[in-house]
Structure 1
Amino acid sequence: MIRTAREKDIGELANLMGELGYPTTTSEMEQRFEKISSNPSYNTQVAEKDGKVVGMIGMMLGFHYEKNENYIRIVAFVVDSKYRKNGIGDKLIQKAEEWAMEQGLNKLVLNSGNRSDRNNAHEFYTNRGFEGKATGFYKILP
């Protein structure tokens, strides 16, 4: 079952961030979720199986400077490693597509690290019609 994330999911969302490679405490996730869930430009959906949150997709409405169309950016997407290859990721992507269409949009974008441990994720995305079109750059400020 795919549904909107709720406050009671915070502990499981923290665990999923760890699965994604970003170890997160429940307290940290609580702070993040409070900001994210209060912003209507964000949408967090979870996949639930047998009463347990086993996946999530976090999205936000994005606006271009250089053109008139808007888009949905997937900013967090993960399925618990014990539940992968069971169609859960497909259902979460489908939910993102539905939300985009509800907003009158036809474009999803996401970033995924250029590391060998992300190769399976890259294959997942390309198999679902995503194209690798950009390189991301990050700078940490003092």
Structure 2
Amino acid sequence: MAIRIRPVDRHDTARLVVLLDQLGYPTDDADVHERLTYWLHDQASVLLGADDAGELIGVAALHVCPILERTGRFGRVVALVVDDRYRGQGVGRSLLTEVERRARAAGCIMMEVTSSVHRDAAHRFYAGLGYEDTVDRSRRFIKPLPPAGESPRR
């Protein structure tokens, strides 16, 4: 298997639908097409794909954020998924290695990734690549925002 890491583009829409479903986020072509509209033009973000003979078999989404309290930026892996037929063959490692390379080139001094509590295999994967679980030192708080012009619901 000769994996090539390359940018994701609109031709990958159908495969992205499959991969996002495998990650646990069912979607459709129209929604992925809309998301690609902002992802592909965001200067602080990159979508990388793992390609096997023209088939997208994995994707990694990186967003680079400036840090105010320290000098530098941090890279956030927003999504990482490998087609279940290819897991355990080094595809995720290849994607993450390229994401980290690009993050360093963008001035990142650290990486961040979040993973649902039930994804034990993913946790072992990240730990094996040097990522530290910091749940005992920090928390993640999320607040949904209503669309612009709508009042918040309480």
TM range, normalised to the smaller chain? over 0.9
Q: TM-score, normalised by structure 2?
A: 0.86
Q: What is the aligned length? A: 140
List, as ranges, runs of 4+ consecutive aligned residues in structure 1 with deviation greater than 4 Å: none
* Worse-matched range after superposition: 61-70 or 30-39: 61-70
Partner of 2:126: 125
For 1:56-75, list aligned pairs within 5 A: 56-75=59-78
Distance 2:102 2:129 in 1: 17
Alignment CA distance shift 1:104-1:69 (3 Å): closer
Q: Deviations over 1:82-111 (max 9, x none)?
A: 110010001001111110121132311111
Q: Deviations over 1:110-142 (max 9, x none)?
A: 111112xx0000000000000011432333353
Q: Retained in 2: the 8 A contact 1:44–1:59?
A: yes
Q: Retained in 1: the 8 A contact 2:62–2:78?
A: yes
Distance 2:22 2:98 in 1: 21
Answer with 1 or 2: which has the greater Rg: 2
Q: Identity rate of aligned residues, in percent?
A: 29
* One of 125, 135, 141 as aligned partner of 1:137: 141
Q: Retained in 1: the 8 A contact 2:63–2:75?
A: yes
- Higher percent of residues as helix: 1
Distance 1:15 1:136 in 2: 28
* One of 98, 101, 106 as aligned partner of 2:104: 101
Q: Secondary structure at the match of 1:56?
A: strand
Partner of 1:19: 22
Distance 1:137 1:113 in 2: 14
Structure 1 residue 76: Cα displacement: 0.7
Distance 2:78 2:113 in 1: 6
Structure 1 residue 63: Cα displacement: 1.8
Amino acid at match of 2:120: N
Q: Retained in 1: the 8 A contact 2:72–2:107?
A: no
Distance 2:109 2:142 in 1: 27
Structure 1 residue 66: Cα displacement: 2.6
